[in-house]
Amino acid sequence: MKTITRKERLTRQTLLQEIDAIPSIGGWMLSTRNLAAMAGLTEEAYLANHEQGFVKANRALGVDGIVSSPIMPDKPDIVRTGSLTEAHFADRAPEEVLRDAEKLPDDPKELLKDFNADAVRREFIDRFRWLRELCGDMEPIPNFWEFGGGFSLYFTYGYVAFLEACALYPEAVEKIWRSQNIVRRERAAVLAALYTELDLVPLLFCGDDICDNNGPMVSPAMLHQRYFPHVKAVAEPFVEAGIRMIYHCDGDVKPLLQDCLDAGYSGFQGFQYECDIDVAALRKLKPTLGEKPLFFGGLSVSRTLPFGTPDDVRREVDYLVDATDGGRGLFLFTSNVTGLEVPAENIAAGYRHVKTRAPGALSSPPVTRWPSVAPRL
């Protein structure tokens, strides 16, 4: 097959059509030291213009797409992009969730009285215009966490008060989810309508941190009854427009996989093999759109990238390609944001190695198990 553009490669992979190379996605690297090294700059030169340094680093990796909420560190030694310290919520109580829910109107028209579709439209247009001007032919991949359903009310109330409210006042928690998602659905409709006008790859990367390594933070039965119906409502404009949604799923998401698919998702990102989340098993699932699930992944930021060698990373890429029938529906990406502890050479090894794999071809012999790299103690 002749060489095609980055956008064509991403779009054809989304639609499970013939491609010339397995596409890759960048934008989730945190270390200024690593970004500078990959860009061929000193760290001082990177920090002098961190946006251009970010572009040079990802271009050097040869990525096809950049998530539209990219990580562009502008200070050295930043260890994470966000944090939640429970001590900051020590005075919060589950009854606050109940009181806040009681204040919310039941009528959707009241919830939407201040909604301005034109302003939302301009917001999205400006975002993609900025990214295209910055990144050139590295195509923006729509990435908006707000469309993932908004489970994470722990950012408002803290973990203890939120989780206690889920147990004590599930109707109140659901009312807050519902109220927020009524607004999000209108925003989703605006964005879905812009895909054609902005000539976007028909993908949407979203989701929420809803699980830890032991499984869902609250009962799957509660989520099935009170959460996922509202996730589905937000997803409807995208599903109706033929846009394939990729669910970010840290931790052990196995009990929620069918709910995610039923809500409208077509694929997954962030799966952790130490939680027994295996691409080969997920491959057997039936997505909402398309014949097979899509995968953004899955270079492990918890094991392989920080603790492995470049050869370990290459073996992980080989497993991901072989487990997806030669990379069908696979977009090479990291399982989460890489940090200071990840050697730059490991990141580069993964992105470079995937370019050596011909689409549709398996290793000889195929790698049939996800290579395990034990964490250093």
Query: pLDDT value at position 46?
Result: 97
Strands 215-216 and 211-212, sheet pairing: antiparallel
The helix (H) or strand (E) run that includes residue 236 is helix 228-240
Q: Which long-range contacts (CB under 8 A, 24 or more apart) does 58-61 make?
A: 58/26, 58/27, 58/135, 58/138, 59/138, 60/348, 61/24, 61/26, 61/347, 61/348, 61/351, 61/352
Q: How far apart are CA 323 and CA 277, in angstroms?
A: 13
Rounded to the nearest 10°, the torsion over CA 12, 16, 22, 23 is: 50
Cβ contact 85:341 at 8 Å = no
Burial of 146 from C-beta contacts in 10 A (0-12 / 13-18 / 19+): middle
Q: Where are the domains of the chain?
A: 6-354
**Which is nearest to 297 in space by CA: 233, 285, 277?**
277
Query: pLDDT value at position 271?
Result: 74
Query: pLDDT value at position 235?
Result: 98
Burial of 326 from C-beta contacts in 10 A (0-12 / 13-18 / 19+): middle
Altogether, the residues listed in the chain come to a count of 377
Q: How far is CA 229 from CA 114, 181, 225, 226, 232, in A?
A: 24, 10, 7, 7, 5
pLDDT digits (tens, 9 = 90+) for 188-239: 999 999 999 999 999 999 999 999 999 999 999 999 999 999 999 999 999 9
Q: CA 242 from chain center: how many Å?
A: 19
Peptide bond into 298 cis (omega under 30): yes
Strand ranges in 110-243 using DSSP code E only, listed in sequence order? 139-141, 203-207, 211-212, 215-216
List per-residue pLDDT tens for the chain, 377 residues long.
Answer: 788 999 999 999 999 999 999 999 999 999 999 999 999 999 999 999 999 999 999 999 999 999 999 999 999 988 777 678 898 999 999 999 999 999 999 999 999 999 999 999 999 999 999 999 999 999 999 999 999 999 999 999 999 999 999 999 999 999 999 999 999 999 999 999 999 999 999 999 999 999 999 999 999 999 999 999 999 999 999 999 999 999 997 889 999 999 999 999 999 998 788 888 889 999 999 998 888 999 998 899 989 999 999 999 999 999 999 999 999 999 999 999 999 999 999 999 999 999 999 999 999 999 988 887 766 55
Q: How many CB atoms lie within 10 A of CB 291?
A: 9
Q: What is the 3-state secondary structure (H, E, C) of 306-325?
A: HHCCHHHHHHHHHHHHHHCC
Cβ contact 143:68 at 8 Å = yes
Cβ contact 12:6 at 8 Å = no
**Which is nearest to 189 in space by CA: 120, 128, 110, 269?**
120
Strands in 139-141's sheet, in edge-to-edge order, are: 25-26, 65-67, 139-141
Query: pLDDT value at position 244?
Result: 98
Q: How many CB atoms lie within 10 A of CB 218?
A: 20
Q: Say which CATH topology domain 6-354 has.
A: TIM Barrel (3.20.20)
